[in-house]
Structures are given as structure tokens and as C-alpha cells.
Structure 1
Amino acid sequence: MQIDLPTARLGPIFLDLAQSIITEIERGRLKPGDPLPGTRALARSLKLNRNTVDAAYHELTMQGWLEARPSRGTFVATDLPESAATAMRASALVAPSVVSATPPVLHMTDGAPDARLMPHAELARAFRTALSSSATLTEMVHGDPYGAPRLRSVLSEYLAHERGLAAPASEVMVTRGSQMGLFLSAAALIMSGDVIAVEEPGYPLAWAAFRAAGANVIGVPVDGGGIDLDRLEQIAVETPRLTAVYVTPHHQYPTTVTLGAGRRLRLLDLARRHGLTVLEDDYDNEYRFDGRPILPMAARASDDQPIVYLGSLSKLMAPALRLGYVVASPATLTRMATVREAIDRQGDLPLEQAFASLIAQGDVRRHARKARRVYQARRDLFVTLLKEHLSDIVDFDVPAGGLAIWLKMREGLSAQQWSDRALKLGLGISPGARFTLDLATPPEALRVGFASLDEQEMSEAARLLVASRPTSTGLG
């Protein structure tokens, strides 16, 4: 099948190619279950680098348009309507179209917090106060791309107290979620053609941000102790344009393993010797159940160590509240602010002012303590259910923290099959193929989030997991 690029380029080539494939799906030329050309064949046909085609396929797989089947290839997702374009046209005349005949009732795909636990009354009160304050009204006219000054100041104090990170407010930027922080960091640090090393399996949306900045992404294996530093050292020696390394050391995404003290120190030394910037994504630092949270690498790095530290307030409260932050040198933040002003002159100032009050008054710390107790209890319940009902087909380590468990499947079983079957029953779970750069050899594993489900919902989720368990061949 021939797939063409649009004549007018709208952005990075891999996103243009992804849009072309979506168009073919929407007009019915590509139907649910249809195979896509291999990445080599399509790259040869379009005269593109194979990595570009692979990036487009990854993007569409994450969005749910495509699905990867180990050892078989890439296919149009089977849960799409027969013709997405027909459904979209019909929706304009009648009711909104349904993307899937059996949409997930319960979501365990990532490891999101439970928004029901959020301190709603305190946030509403802080938001009302912020909307009526003269400071907010003034800043709404004179927006700051670095974020509300008060939130930057209280974040500086919060990070110093909670994480041992001594960073003045001038080195803190507030962003619309940590994803914006990743995008701006990449834009500030990476030039087209540079290379960035990432954990594999790892966080696909970080890879998308790096690729949008023109970077080539190289995966570094992750084992039971975190990122493989011997392999990273080899890549650093062999790759002249290696610029940075992206890590999630506290609870590695998606496997949840913690990077030990020895590897952290060695990683900082390796980065210093090879002139690499370390991007440390500490997306769920507050959720450490066994022992105290481990200090970020940014708290131990020397003053001359190039390191960018990213965090999320959305993970602490609710994903819909888009607030993240970046701690970096003033020079790096200046470049980030320049990029931000082109797309988003300022953040959500009333929300930023409200969060500043929640942090300053101790509401955030109180919520974190409460959430830790609840999520630890949910983790323990989920572990018990897994051991009772699925210990014959999965292996896992009980995570010391974080909001998900990495289930490794026994030999001969298919994670993709399990995910497909669960979806049909009303349960969303994420197979290992979503977290790997090499779709040909994905880990047969599942990342299953437990934090957003209460006891009753978790029991139902466990029932659906058991009901959808894969066959021994992985093909039935």
C-alpha cells in the first residue's frame, strides 16, 4: 500500500506522516485490522529515514490509531469504527460517535492519582481568593512566562524542605504539566541532529518531545537496578553528538525500579566526563511507601553539573490540573522562556496562585501524607489480589513507591493479547509494546496502575484481569 506525505509540511516529518495515515483511516482506505507497511519498506518508498517512519508508528500507537503485534507487524487498531470518517460525519447530524463498541470502564493504563482524594474545598477556597486578589489581577495583564512569582518562591522552599534541593526561585519555572517542561527543556538544550539517550522501556511522550526538537533518540536497557550504565558509557564513546540522557531514577517509568546510590553517582560522573546534560524526571516523588524518598540527583550534583530537574503537581493532585515545574540554570530557563512565549505567553495564573497558597498553608503536605496512606493500602490490596489469582502467569516485584506495578509475563504469553481481551471486557491496561523503541521485540509485560481505584473498583478490575488472561500460545 502506498502512503503519501502531505505536499504542505505542517511540522516535523514524522508528525506529517502520522497525519497522512490518520487521514487514510478516517476516509476508510485503511480499515480496522489492516496491516501497515513495514518500516523499512515505507521508508524506502518515501525516501525517509527508517527512524522517522518508526517514530510516526510509535506516535499513532500511543494515540490508539495503530497497534503493534509482536513478530507480526503494525496494524490499524481493531477497536476503531469501520470508517472513522463516516462516524464523524454522522455525529454532526445525530449523537456523538462512539470510538469503541466496548470502551474501558476501568482505567489501569498508567498510574494516575485518584482525583477524588484531592482537597477540593481547600483548592476551591484558594482559587476564589486568587481570583479576587489584586496580585493575580495585575499578573493576568502582565503575564510571566516563568510562572507566577509567588508559586516559584514557595516551590523553591518546598523543594528545599522536602527534597533537599537548594534552588532559588530564579532557577524555577512553572509549566502546564511536566510534559510542557520536557518539551521546553528539549527545545532549549537540543539542536537538530543531536542525540539523547533514554531508558528503554521508558516514557514515550518524553521521546516525542525530544523528537519534536529534532533529536535522535537512542534507547538504553533497564534492568533490576535501573538504567544500564555500561551500555550508556558505550553509547557515549561511540556517539559524538550525544548531548543528554533522560532518566526517571526515583521510580523508573514504566518498571518502577529505583536507581541505587552507586549508579546515581556513577551516572553523574559519566555525564560530567562526556559533557552530557542529565534530565531527571521525578514525576511522583511524594509517593514513596517503604522508607523515605530518595534525594534527587539534582540535590547531590555539583554546581558545575548540567542537570535539569522536572516535577509534577498534577501527579500529586489530579491529571486535569496541569501544573509542573522545571529546575535548571538561569541560562537554560531563559532559552525555555523564549520558546514558551511563542506558544503560551503565560500559564494559568489563578491556578498557580491558588497552588501557591495550598503549599504555603501546608495543605499540599497534608494531602501528600493522606494520599500516601491510601495508595499504600491500595498497593497492598492489589498485590494480594495478584498473588491470589494470577501468580501462575505473572511475576512482579512489589514497588517501594509509585502508583503502578510492572507485571512480567511467563514465557509464551502475550501482553498485547491480554490488553486486547481486557479492553473488550471494559478494562484498560498497557502492554509493554507501548514503552519500547523497538516494536519488534517488546517486553511481554504490563504496566498496571492501582492508585485511582477504590477497593470495590479494584476487586472488579482483578476479576476482569482474570477473565481476560491470555492463552498459553499467545495467539488464541
Structure 2
Amino acid sequence: MALKDLTIDLEKSGQRPVFLDIAASIVGDIERGRLKPGDALPGTRTLARSLKVHRNTVDAAFHELTMQGWLVSEPSRGTFVARDLPTAKPGGRSARPRTPPTSVDAETVTGPLPPSLRVSDGAPDPRIMPRVELARAFRRALTGPTFLTDAGYGDPRGAPALRTALSGYLSRERGLAASSSDLMVTRGSQMGLFLTAAAIIEAGQAIAVETPGYPLAWSAFRAAGARVIGVPVDAGGIDIDHLARLAEREPTLRAIYVTPHHQYPTTVTMGAGRRLKLLDIARRHGLYVIEDDYDHEYRFDGRPVLPMAARADPDTQVIYVGSLSKLLAPVVRLGYVVARPDILTRMADRREAIDRQGDLPLELALAALIEDGELGRHARKARRIYEARRDILADELHQTLGDDIAFDLPRGGLAIWLRLRSGLSAETWAANAARAGLIVSPGLRFALDAANAPEAFRIGYANFHDPELRRLVTLLAESKPKVSL
């Protein structure tokens, strides 16, 4: 496009960085339809000369918009408006509010940083979720015929529209051949784990879990009456040989719970060999496999690994648990379970005792976001943002903490598993950090047996902006305890 066709409004107040003004103006032109998907933007040198700003300022604006998914950079060709954006009507109202297209507001970028930081275990950033699109879809659901004409309670398995949309989504994205009758929608994956255990495990029977692992899953299984038995995790995921021995000697073992795509908390991806061996153990001993694929969308290097549920033969009983909360925000409580219809029936019976149905308007809204492609667009944008934040955190950790820590750069997910060098106590370090204003969880939180707690931290990075990530590492470095001899 010609430079004269691009509208750039620069504020003179200095209340926010100039690159944010440039970015917001470009987004405004996209929203009004003056810039269309696939349109080329002027070069950074040309635009910087026209605006009388440094070229690095324009570079920063383009980089921010590329990370947010508004623009794409093509080597040797230039920068273009992302082709997967919906086409806006020229001169029409903006599809999004005219605010800086960043994951934090300008005050956070330019003003003082918060006095304390609470490090999550891998939560997404709610500041980048498609709030406007979700709100619009929610309003349509509230005023639509499904909501207004159905005076009774809904299906405890979830809204048929969402189950149908999820069926297509999981088929396209994860290779799962699951019809809507094979799906149950829950209030987050936590409810899904509890209902699954309650449906397949009788009181006193056992379930094998990874350790270190996900403590809230253990709580759900215990609440359902199961005994939880730990199986160690190594650099390749769950220890298959240990699991095989457990299956041979434990007559009450009923199920195996695993997080193979990005093991929680170590982020390790289980290889094909171990997956096949695990499925073989389950088949030979008549065990259920509960596969928790909590952050499948976040794979930065290479394509996501297909779930075990997509490859298991009919004789292997794999129950697949997923979440939309990790894709949007923790406050959006939507998970789902893929299982045989008879298992889902038992789950629905138990759900009705505590929760007759889910949040119907929210479920209908999410169905709409899936069907119109908005959820997929958000996933692509989020991947770009989170990969950049992962790399920033990794660089800061290497430069600041050096030999005191070690980690494998995760190929996906929303957290880094930070191992401490010998002699450093994760609990002492976490206590020091808390006094300095940094809340971080030591390896003890993820251990089934305190005596075998790893000296490590799980550092969630997705919900932090760049300055917050740097402050996180600075506080961590300042809190380092003395090495035990």
C-alpha cells in the first residue's frame, strides 16, 4: 500500500511509548478495513522517515504487532497484515476497542513495576484472550433461541453445540475420532479428572501417577476414593519399567494417569517408544489410561505430538482429558473428557448429584468461537507471544543465574522446570524470594513423597510481560541462598 494510505496518530503527551501509538494506529486501520488481510506495509525505514522517528521505534511497533498476530513478516518480501484475520468492512465500526495492542497496558510498560510477583505453574495471560469476541458471542447466546426457548435443565454432558464443535476441533487439531456422543464438557479439567476417577475406580482401588506430578489430580483421585501410587519420572517421562513392575505386583491397580505431551511439572515429552509400551502395559493388565493433555495448543518447535488417545487400538481404554481454560484464561472454567459412552453416562450420573448442568451461555459462546475460527486464531497468536516470552526468560536465566541452575528449553507448554545445582535448597530459596516479593513454588509442591522432593522450581512465564520476566529473574537472583556443604 502507499504510505499516504496509512494513518498514524502520534500522541504528544508522552503518556505511553511512541511505538505503542504506531501499533495502535495500524490496528485501527485494520479494524476499519483500510488495511486488509494480506496488505503489504511500508518498509520500516520509509515509515520512520515519514514519522520523523528512529527506525528502531517502527521496528518495535512491527515486532509487537507480529507477536500479537496482527502482522506477519516474510523474509525478502516485507511485512504484511496477517491473512487469517477476519475482513472488516471499510469505514465500519472497530471490531476491537482502540487500545494499544499489547498484552499489558501502557502504565505497566512505562510506570513502576508491581511490588511483588506471584509465579504461576503455567497459567495463560488473560490480558491477551479475545475478550471482545467472547463477550459478543456470550451476548448472542443469552439472546438466542436455544437459551430463551429451553426452560428446563440442560444435558449434564454439556451443550450439544459445544460437544459437536469440540468433536470437529479435536478431529482437525489432534486426530481424535470422537463424535459428540463420546464427549462430556465439564467446569474445567479438574472436574473432569474427578468424575473420570469416580466413574472407573471403586473405593480402595489404586491409580498410578507420575511423581513429581500434578497434586490437584491426586486430590481429585483421592476424593473419588482411589489410592494414589507414585511412579518416578525421568528425562523421558514416566518410568515404564517401574510401572510394569507395579502393574505386576499391585492387584488393585485400576488406572494410570499421565501427562505425556508436556509432563507436569518437568515439561518432558514422552517419546513414541514409551507411549507404545505404556499402552501395552495397560492392555495386558486391563487398566484405564487417563491422558491429561492440558496444554496441547502450545507447541513451539515442530508440530504437536498426537495424543495417545488418537493412536490407541480399540482394546486399550484411553480416557482423554483436555481444557479450554489453558487456551483462554483460568477464570473460563471449561474442560472436556473423551471416553466411551458408557463411561460418560456414569460420569453424568455423578455430576447430576452436584452440578446438574454446566454454564450453558458460556458453552454456546465457546461453540461459536470454535465454529467461526476465532479460537484457532487466538491459539496462533498466543503461541507467538508465549514462545517469545519463553525465550526471554531462558536468556535472562542463563545470563543472571548461570551455573546455579539448569533447564532444558521446553519445546512447548507455559513453564520452565528449573533444576538447582547441588547444595542449593529450593525451599530455602523460595522462602527468601517470598520475603523479597517473589512467590514461587519449590519442587516439594509437586512431590508425592517429601523425602524425594526435587530441588527445582516450576516457573510459569506466559502471564508475564517482558519487564516482569526480567524483574522475576532479578528477584530470584537476589534471593539465592548460600550453598549447603
Q: Same fold (TM over 0.5)?
A: yes
* C-alpha contact (below 8 Å) 1:136/1:353 kept by paired residues: no
Q: Distance in 2 between matches of 1:138 and 1:292?
A: 43
How many angstroms does 1:107 deviate by?
Answer: 2.0
Identity of aligned residues (%): 64
How do residues 1-150 of structure 1 correspond to structure 2 at under 5 angstroms?
Answer: 105-139=116-150, 141-150=152-161
Partner residue in 1 for 2:314 = 303
1:442 is matched with 453
Aligned 8 A contact 1:123 1:355 in 2: yes
Q: 1:453 aligns with which of 458, 464, 467?
A: 464
Scaled by the length of structure 2, the TM-score of the pair is: 0.76
Separation of aligned partners in 2, 1:270 and 1:312: 27
Q: Identify the match of residue 411 of structure 1 among 422, 427, 435.
A: 422
The residue type paired with residue 329 of structure 1 is R
Q: Which runs of 5+ in 1 are unaligned?
A: 1-102
Residue in structure 1 matching 2:331, options 317, 320, 323: 320
Aligned partner of 1:163 in structure 2 is 174
The structure-2 alpha-carbon separation of the partners of 1:233 and 1:104, relative to structure 1 and needing over 3 Å to count, comes to farther
Instruction: Provide the C-alpha distance between the structure 1 equivalents of 2:422 and 2:120, rounded to a whole number of angstroms.
Output: 22
For the 8 Å contact 2:153–2:356, the answer to whether it is kept is no
How many residue pairs align between the two structures?
Answer: 372
1:15-42 CA distance string (max 9 Å, x none):
xxxxxxxxxxxxxxxxxxxxxxxxxxxx
Q: Is contact 1:288–1:401 with CA below 8 Å preserved after alignment?
A: yes
Q: Work out whether 1:375 is the aligned partner of 2:382.
A: no
- What is the CA deviation profile of residues 343-391 of structure 1, one whole-angstrom value per residue up to 9, with x for unaligned ones? 0000011000000000000000000000000000000000000000112
Provide the C-alpha distance between the structure 2 equivalents of 1:162 and 1:340, rounded to a whole number of angstroms: 28
**Residues 409 and 415 in structure 1, CA contact (< 8 A), matched pair in contact too:** yes
Counterpart CA distance in 2 for 1:138 and 1:290 is: 47
Letter in 1 for 2:480: R
Give the structure 2 partner of residue 430 of structure 1.
441
Aligned partners of 1:174, 1:104: CA distance in 2, in Å? 39
Cα contact 2:407–2:419 (8 A) shared by 1 = yes
> Does the residue aligned with 2:263 lie in a helix, a strand or coil?
coil
| Partners of 1:139 and 1:127 in 2: CA distance | 17
* Residue aligned with 1:217, SS: strand
1:152 aligns with 2:152: no
Q: Distance in 2 between matches of 1:433 and 1:104?
A: 26
Deviation at residue 213 of structure 1 after TM alignment: 1.3
2:409 aligned with 1:398: yes
> What is the CA-CA distance between 1:469 and the residue it aligns to?
1.2
What secondary structure does 1:392 align onto?
helix
What displacement does 1:140 show?
6.0
- State the one-letter code of the partner of 2:160: P
Please give the alpha-carbon distance, in whole angstroms, between the structure 1 residues aligned to 2:384 and 2:118.
Answer: 21
Distance 2:430 2:439 in 1: 7
For residue 359 of structure 1, the aligned residue among 367, 370, 374 is: 370
Establish whether residue 235 from structure 1 lines up as the match of residue 246 from structure 2.
yes
- CA shift, 1:424, in A, is 1.5
Report if the CA contact (8 A) 1:104-1:428 is conserved: no
Q: Give 2:244's aligned amino acid.
A: E
Within 2, Cα distance between the matches of 1:140 and 1:453?
43
Matches within 5 A, 1:315-354: 315-354=326-365
**Alpha carbons of structure 1 residues 139 and 323: separation in structure 2 relative to 1, 3 Å:** farther
| Cα contact 1:127–1:354 (8 A) shared by 2 | yes
Partner of 2:34: none
Report the equivalent of 2:272.
261
Instruction: Work out which of the two has the higher radius of gyration on C-alpha atoms and give 1 or 2.
Output: 2
Query: What is the DSSP-based 3-state SS (H/G/I as helix, E as strand, rest coil) of the residue aligned with 1:167?
Result: coil
**Contact 1:195-1:242 at 8 Å conserved across structures:** yes
Residues 128-171 of structure 1: CA deviation (Å, up to 9, x unaligned) = 00000110234463311000000000000000000000100000
Letter in structure 2 aligned against 1:113:
P
Cα distance in 2 for residues equivalent to 1:386 and 1:465: 9
- Indicate the SS of the match to 2:251: coil
1-structure distance, mates of 2:338, 2:196: 10
| 8 Å contact kept, 1:139–1:349 | no
Cα distance in 1 for partners of 2:340, 2:147 equals: 27
- For 2:192 and 2:125, the matched residues in 1 are separated by 23
139 and 296 in structure 1: CA distance in 2 versus 1, 3 angstrom threshold: farther
Match of 1:469 in 2: 480
SS of equivalent residue, structure 1 residue 464: helix
The match for 2:292 is: 281
- Rounded Cα–Cα distance in structure 2 between residues aligned with 1:266 and 1:421: 43
Q: Structure 1: how far apart are the matches of 2:474 and 2:149?
A: 53
Secondary structure of 1:465's match? helix
Aligned partner of 1:291 in structure 2 is: 302
Between the aligned partners of 2:376 and 2:150, the Cα distance in structure 1 is: 27
The one-letter code sitting in structure 1 at the alignment partner of 2:320 is Y
Q: Which residue in 2 is equivalent to 1:193?
A: 204
**Partner SS for 1:343:** coil
Show the counterpart of 1:247: 258
Q: Write out per-residue CA displacement over residues 331-351 of structure 1, whole angstroms, 9 at most, x where no aligned residue.
A: 000000000000000001100
Q: Would the aligned equivalents of 1:309 and 1:328 in 2 still touch at CA under 8 Å?
A: yes
CA gap 1:396/1:359 in 2 versus in 1, 3 angstroms = same
Asked if 1:219 corresponds to 2:202, the answer is no
Specify the code of the residue in structure 2 equivalent to 1:341. Answer: E
Paired position in structure 1 for 2:83: none
CA distance in 2, matches of 1:268, 1:138: 46
Q: Deviations for 1:309-343, whole angstroms, at most 9, x for unmatched residues?
A: 00000000000000000000000000000000000
1:173-194 deviation per Cα after TM superposition (whole angstroms, max 9, x unaligned):
0000000000100100110110
In structure 1, the partner of 2:12 is: none
Aligned to 1:57: none
1:214 deviates by: 1.3
